[in-house]
Structure 1
């Protein structure tokens, strides 16, 4: 059964689904990304999600998580904190004990039910990815060489039965950059998965939105996507500005 109770990430995304829009989950790797997410959300008077990777724990033992939580708590618009692509049950449990996360995406498929029950007991919602979305992302280990496997409605139903709250279906989107043909999405598949998700009372998440235009976003939102992960659209601009301004790493 999906999480029952107050959870600000769940509230933000459920409200988006009811309103026919999607909330950006901004992939943040540093304090600047966290601040930019909150300031942009406040400027637009619109909700957002600060999204961290497991490296936020492994690199600084949770310091960035605490900063993200404080930024979300102090924001004048609804902001939540979520961890993307958690691949180790031990790390997931450590993240939950550290506090600060409203949601965690877990990838250990064999332990989905067990980890979901554990996270729900901590007031944390769960995102899962049935199938396999092709490509790789910064901060995520060993995904580049895995073959993309599209999600079926039957797989979606199986995951929903394990009690998850958000489903990230594989329907042709790709982590990272697309080839020159651009996104090749199976929107009919997404629509069928959405029908299954609606019956289970959960929301859909879009991974791999690099290069999407407004029309393509709209087509996905129309078919139930209520959370969109954003990585390169923010971080590529950040690194480009660093390069343009002549920033140099002087720590070595």
Structure 2
């Protein structure tokens, strides 16, 4: 009797190797699954359970008035905690809440052991005198700190808004905060030379803002509108009349000066 043909032998080999191949694939899958689990467990342990990636120190940069110690205390970064568990957004919010002098802050992880606090402080552009102290106001009109002594070269804001006439109308329409922001805008539009000489910004109403400069000079600015045009007009006016003591740029197309 003739033996099996080549085709028949191939079919028999495939039938016998089929179960073996399936078992081999299953073993590979199981091994890969075990390796994946082990890697996951090991990675989790490294990040959360080991001493390799834990907070060891907190650095502070960008401070001007605040001290690094004040910032670290307010941040309350949990030294010794796993780096991965640090709530950076929570620390940023806490710093802005506890230290209003801070305008912006970035909390960054510096692997493997450091947390960095990059701080930007608010800079005062005006001061409001209150009970013998001075409230600092930044370029956004935010009153962010009270200090016992006035910082140098920061003008004093005087809110002399009358309860009658245009002053009362300004209060009803704009409110005190808006009038403060108008004064802030004026200081930002001043020519550099005038800004250095400005000692007081006085607000009587929305349309009546004036400056007191060194040398008993005054500037009637008017409203905070057309600030750049008024700045150019004031610069030209001061060059044309260097001995004048009073300048009026409330209507910048027709500026005027007087006194000597």
Q: TM-score, normalised by structure 1?
A: 0.23
Which structure features the higher share of strand residues? 2
Q: TM-score, normalised by structure 2?
A: 0.23
